[in-house]
Amino acid sequence: MLRSRNKAGVRISRAPQTNGQVESANRVLLRGLKRRLEKAKGTWAEEVPRIVWAYHTTPQSTTRETPFSFVYGSNAMIPIEIQESSPRFQNFVDEKSNEERKVNLDLLDEVREEARIKAEALKRRVEYKYSSKLKPRQFQVADLVMWKAHPYQLENKLSPKWTGSFRVIEALGNGAYRLETLEGGAIPRTWNATNLKFYFS
């Protein structure tokens, strides 16, 4: 947590920016907790280690690897494999296992790099799919437009989803526009074309 003071000397706390991975992992953990605690909500503290273990030993959809394997170089042996005497448990040899673990740790950097490439490729595919369906709106100077209402402006489900009318006074490129009110009052911020649509009077 970063702490600083504004011009008035008031202390401000700011959380550092992240790339969204922590929030994504937290969402998965919370979803798992909700499923386990539908009836006994007071026992969530006992369930957290099980949920975290399940998350760490489950292959991720983007990389096809488990978070555990990214740290230790091999997949964890889950409790059911020990209880049911799986072939992996029965054929365990301590010396051979140590040798294989050393090899896996030597190859760990390559596995992580391959996973990074897979995740990046998936991100590009999602971005391409989104961009191919996106139909950007083009506005000219003097066009009348409406902008999408902010959630805090919606009093109920019947509130209008668009606000306006406004006039385009400048096209800045890359879908950014400057607007003004119909009385000529400038609006200080720029607006993206995805949040605008034509106003027909």
124-167 residue pLDDT tens = 998 888 777 767 678 888 888 888 888 777 777 777 888 878 89
Domains and CATH numbers, the chain: 19-132 (no CATH), 144-198 (2.30.30.140)
Q: In sequence order, which residues have a C-beta less than 8 Å from that of residue 43 and are 6 or more positions away?
A: 37
101-131 residue pLDDT tens = 788 888 888 888 988 898 888 889 988 887 7
In whole angstroms, what is the distance from residue 167 CA to residue 144 CA? 5
The model's pTM:
0.48
**150: DSSP letter:** P
Phi, psi torsion values for 192, nearest 5 degrees:
-85, 150
In whole angstroms, what is the distance from residue 177 CA to residue 186 CA? 12
For position 41, what pLDDT does the model report?
Answer: 66
